[in-house]
Amino acid sequence: MNWEDFQALGSPENAPRFEDNEETPKLAKRFGTFVVRIHLEKKKRGGKTACIIKGLKLSSDELKDLSKDLKKVCGVGGACKNGEIIIQGNNREKIMQHLQKLGVKDVKMAGG
């Protein structure tokens, strides 16, 4: 690799393109059957808000992957506990749009 090739890598035009996860189409078929609710909660969080995503009947590994994806989309932290995904802050709009993009047909905001 010469110097020109090395410099070209730093250019935004040459940045690698990241495509959606290959597992997304497989999950999209299953997502259509889910009834997902995005709750807004302040309890037991020191007055800070969090979005709780309920109704996803996925395995723990799939929930962790989706949680990681949602945290990246919202730019915040979160966790995956007891079959629910917890995302910090009031990011219900972003979460709802992302879930609809993944193929969840019945997703609504609840609470707060």
Where is pLDDT greater, at 10 or 52? 52
At 64, which CATH number? 3.30.780.10
Which residues form the domain of 100?
37-112
Task: Judge whether 10 lies within some domain.
Answer: no
Task: Judge whether 70 lies within some domain.
Answer: yes
Task: Judge whether 21 lies within some domain.
Answer: no
Question: Over the stretch 26-43, which tens digit does the pLDDT of each residue have?
Answer: 555 666 677 889 999 888
Position 31 scores a pLDDT of 65
Task: Judge whether 82 lies within some domain.
Answer: yes
Task: Judge whether 19 lies within some domain.
Answer: no
Unique residue bearing structure tokens 């250019």 = 11
Task: Judge whether 32 lies within some domain.
Answer: no
Task: Judge whether 68 lies within some domain.
Answer: yes
Count of domains for the chain: 1
Q: Give the list of residues 6+ apart from residue 83 with CB closer than 8 angstroms, or none.
A: 56, 57, 63
Contact 85, 65 (CB under 8 A): no
Tell me the average pLDDT across 15-19: 56
Torsion from C-alpha of 89, 90, 96, 102, nearest 10 degrees: -10
Task: Judge whether 72 lies within some domain.
Answer: yes
Position 87 scores a pLDDT of 93
pTM: 0.70
Contact 49, 42 (CB under 8 A): yes
Name the DSSP letter for residue 13.
G
Question: Over the stretch 42-81, which tens digit does the pLDDT of each residue have?
Answer: 888 788 899 999 988 888 888 899 999 999 999 999 999 9
Q: Which two tokens stand for residue 64?
A: 């962790």
Neighbours of 92 (CB within 10 A): 22
Q: In whole numbers, what is the pLDDT of the chain averaged over residues?
A: 80
Position 44 scores a pLDDT of 80
Rounded-to-integer distance, Cα 93 and Cα 10, Å? 34
